[in-house]
């Protein structure tokens, strides 16, 4: 959870706690639970939008990482995100 539980991502403790609860209740990883939480109206729209943006960022890095050398991957991860996570 350290990846999303940072000031830069602006994803708060309540959101992380809800995400972990949904993941636990559905026997899935927190990452896999993001889609369920984003569709869930229990959190506010800002929190859902930030989680969706976080997942899009990770998916973009996964796509970009295919075929990269370790050095190239490190360079890709050090670039600023192409999407804004904060609102």
Nearest-angstrom CA–CA distance, 86 and 9:
6
Nearest-angstrom CA–CA distance, 33 and 20:
8
**pLDDT value for 41:** 87
Nearest-angstrom CA–CA distance, 61 and 55:
10
Sorted by where each begins, the domain ranges of the chain are 13-78
**pLDDT value for 61:** 80
Task: List, for the chain, all residue ranges whose pLDDT scores fall below the cut of 50.
Answer: 82-87
């Amino acid at each position: 959870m350290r990846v999303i539980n940072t000031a830069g991502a602006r994803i708060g403790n309540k959101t992380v706690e809800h995400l972990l609860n949904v993941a636990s209740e559905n026997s899935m990883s927190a990452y896999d639970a993001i889609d369920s939480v984003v569709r869930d109206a229990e959190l506010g729209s800002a929190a859902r939008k930030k989680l969706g943006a976080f997942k899009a960022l990770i998916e973009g890095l996964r796509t970009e990482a295919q075929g990269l050398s370790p050095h190239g991957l490190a360079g890709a991860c050090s670039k600023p995100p192409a999407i804004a996570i904060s609102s």
